[in-house]
Structure 1
């Protein structure tokens, strides 16, 4: 199976790539960490080469907002796209930056997955629930920041494509482990 992983040099994406490369051909798409900072002073991108020291597949350094990056994935013809790339910092309040990166590109990935007949598994977030009491319930969301709002809107778009695409959204709660250090 051929698998593309956006955000594949990040914390979750790199762990996924390292595990899946044992049995599959992997293409990682990542912007990679640089000195670019967000409005809160934190790094814009957490992709780090040290997360990929044991990676044997193909790495493409590109931005998910760039048409060339989408074309690279299309040409690779994956069976599955794991879409993990996003601005994931919950303390960023630049709504334009968060929504153009996380939300606007998501529809492009849905359309790409339909076009190439690939499954799309994307990262949503438990942050969509805000301060709702446990147990949280789908349909009772209350996002408290632009990141959480972007993920809720992605989920709503995914529902609209339910009968046209094979989509799975994973609402991650707190994740931690090897490679988390590079999140700075």
Structure 2
């Protein structure tokens, strides 16, 4: 059955893939500030869905867009999520991640399913995998605080307005199409520019890395599968239940690329808020919505190396012309 689906942040890293997942079978509205440009989509794609340049901080603009489109499902991916930037500009992060979420919830039709992209960053540090029903909540940085506040607004407005809602705690996404200078795309960009050494901060933190295609498929499953009652909020993790250290990820990148890379530890790049472990228990998302990961971290690294597909904005920030991304041979 065709649904009317609104995706906020639909021109972003995960959002662009989710739009492609939906636009041939459903009516799709993408709400995006287009910080990374309209060229995140191919020209022929733009006729397959509706694209609205909308800032979620503009309550009136959000309300007008949703009132006109009347969505059956809203997948709220738009966020300020690059942690160093959130730390430098906490007010801006709060406006986007908290105020923007509240504006959406106030404009959300009561019969709509609201899917909120939260984060594993809301959990307190633990050496065990994080379980939605049992693990302690305790974010350690601005981004995590804003996502926890967003979750609280989702639960409040779901009860108040009879919205069926799902909180999806997403873990570390890896693969082609990045829009922010996270660890791996930055290293790949440097390697493809000819650098043979990188300076990194902490090498020991372990993270649960999920392929961007699996992340998009997970949000698609949560948006359309299973049953969520009006006024109910279901919380699930979206990850792989496997963790890898920065050092292990660098080794995998060396293996995939066949390219030598020396790592120099730079204490100045070490994050004071780094947690040792961050991993997901993923039984609930399978039980409620029938999703499980199909790709591995090795697939993600291989795909990122073969075709980084960084946004032009990110390539420029990393000092790399988009045309230079193919200077080195891709892996077989």
TM-score under structure 1 length normalisation? 0.84
Structure 2: gaps of 5 or more residues = 179-309, 315-332
* Bigger helix fraction: 2
Deviations 1:100-132 (A, max 9, x none): 21112212222222x452111111001112532
* Structure with more contact order per residue of length (Cα contacts < 8 Å, sep ≥ 6): 1
Deviation at 1:65, TM superposition (A): 0.9
Kept in 2: contact 1:155–1:169 (CA 8 A):
yes
Q: Which residue of 1 aligns with 2:12?
A: 10
Pair 1:51 & 2:51 matched: no
CA distance in 2, matches of 1:133, 1:151: 21
CA distance in 2, matches of 1:157, 1:51: 30
Structure 1: gaps of 5 or more residues = 34-46
Kept in 2: contact 1:74–1:116 (CA 8 A):
no
Kept in 2: contact 1:77–1:116 (CA 8 A):
no
Deviation at 1:154, TM superposition (A): 1.2
Q: Which residue of 2 aligns with 1:152?
A: 148
Pair 1:30 & 2:25 matched: no
CA distance in 2, matches of 1:18, 1:48: 17
Q: Which residue of 2 aligns with 1:36?
A: none
CA distance in 1, matches of 2:120, 2:175: 18
Pair 1:166 & 2:164 matched: yes
Q: Which residue of 1 aligns with 2:91?
A: 96
Pair 1:105 & 2:100 matched: yes
Q: Which residue of 1 aligns with 2:264?
A: none
Please identify, of 69-78 and 131-140, the stretch whose mean Cα deviation from structure 2 is larger: 131-140
Give the ranges of 4+ consecutive aligned residues of structure 1 lying more than 4 Å apart after TM superposition. none
Deviations 1:146-177 (A, max 9, x none): 11110011112222344321111111101122
Pair 1:126 & 2:128 matched: no
What SS is found at the alignment partner of 2:172?
A: coil
CA pair 165-69 structure 1, distance change in 2 beyond 3 A: closer
CA distance in 2, matches of 1:176, 1:70: 33
CA distance in 2, matches of 1:48, 1:177: 19
Paired residues, what number? Answer: 170
Larger Rg: 2
**Aligned-pair Cα RMSD in Å:** 1.8
What SS is found at the alignment partner of 2:174?
A: coil
What SS is found at the alignment partner of 1:175?
A: strand
What SS is found at the alignment partner of 1:82?
A: strand
The partner residue of 1:86 within 79, 85, 90 is 79
Kept in 1: contact 2:56–2:104 (CA 8 A):
no
What SS is found at the alignment partner of 1:135?
A: coil
CA distance in 2, matches of 1:155, 1:143: 13
